[in-house]
């Protein structure tokens, strides 16, 4: 049966496609119907079978036309396991306290005119290499002049101690660690 309108077939198509744009209700209804049809088609279509060429490697008697370079796997970076509990506290090691006192004497020994390299050379035997690089930024004139008391341990574990060292410019908290070469100063901070 032919379409009998005074505007022809284009008017009928325009009316069908224009229906969703007449109002927001029409647009929402069209979106719901379209989503329902898409879902229904998804349920009715069978799932595709798994590809067989991926599961089994192809075996051919011919050598490959080109060879690919397989990249070597780089090793993973090292990981650090952090213990769930801090290490147990132990009695302070007298050798570690002696190293702090020796470091303190070298730290306050900076007569007028001594340059930084001479001062660091005095600290080198009792300081870790890593901490010496940090100490290179310290001006000896800012260091204390006198140790005013004995070194006392704040906390001690098997491999490290935090020691209080009183000086004329304030109390220092010196961290010493046990290395292969014995106890060495690894850090200091001013209290307060």
pLDDT in tens, 43-77: 898 888 877 665 555 555 666 666 667 777 788 88
By percentage, how much of the chain surpasses pLDDT 70?
Answer: 87
Domain ranges of the chain: 9-44, 94-190
Specify whether the backbone of 72 is left (phi greater than 0), alpha (psi in -120 to 50) or beta. beta
pLDDT tens per residue, range 143-160: 888 999 999 999 999 999
Quote the pTM value.
0.56
Q: How confident is the model at residue 139 (pLDDT cuts 50, 70, 90)?
A: confident
**Topology annotation, domain 94-190:** Nuclear Transport Factor 2; Chain: A, (3.10.450)
pLDDT at 140 over 90: no
Q: How confident is the model at residue 128 (pLDDT cuts 50, 70, 90)?
A: very high
Check the CA dihedral 64-66-72-73 and report its sign. Answer: negative
């Amino acid at each position: 049966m032919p379409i009998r309108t005074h505007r022809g077939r284009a008017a009928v198509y325009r009316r069908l496609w224009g229906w969703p744009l007449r109002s927001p209700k029409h647009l929402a209804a069209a979106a719901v119907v379209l989503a329902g049809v898409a879902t229904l088609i998804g349920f009715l279509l069978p799932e595709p079978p798994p590809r067989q060429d991926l599961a089994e490697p192809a075996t051919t008697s011919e050598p490959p036309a080109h060879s690919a370079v397989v990249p070597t796997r780089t090793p993973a970076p090292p990981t650090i396991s952090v213990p769930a509990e801090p290490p147990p506290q132990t009695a302070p090691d007298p050798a570690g306290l002696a190293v702090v006192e020796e470091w303190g004497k070298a730290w306050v020994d900076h007569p007028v005119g001594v340059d930084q390299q001479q001062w660091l050379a005095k600290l080198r035997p009792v300081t870790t290499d890593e901490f010496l690089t940090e100490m290179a930024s310290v001006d000896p004139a800012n260091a204390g002049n006198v140790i005013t008391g004995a070194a006392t341990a704040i906390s001690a574990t098997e491999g490290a101690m935090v020691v209080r060292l009183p000086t004329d410019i304030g109390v220092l908290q010196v961290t010493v660690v046990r290395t292969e070469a014995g106890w060495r100063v690894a850090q200091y901070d001013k209290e307060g």
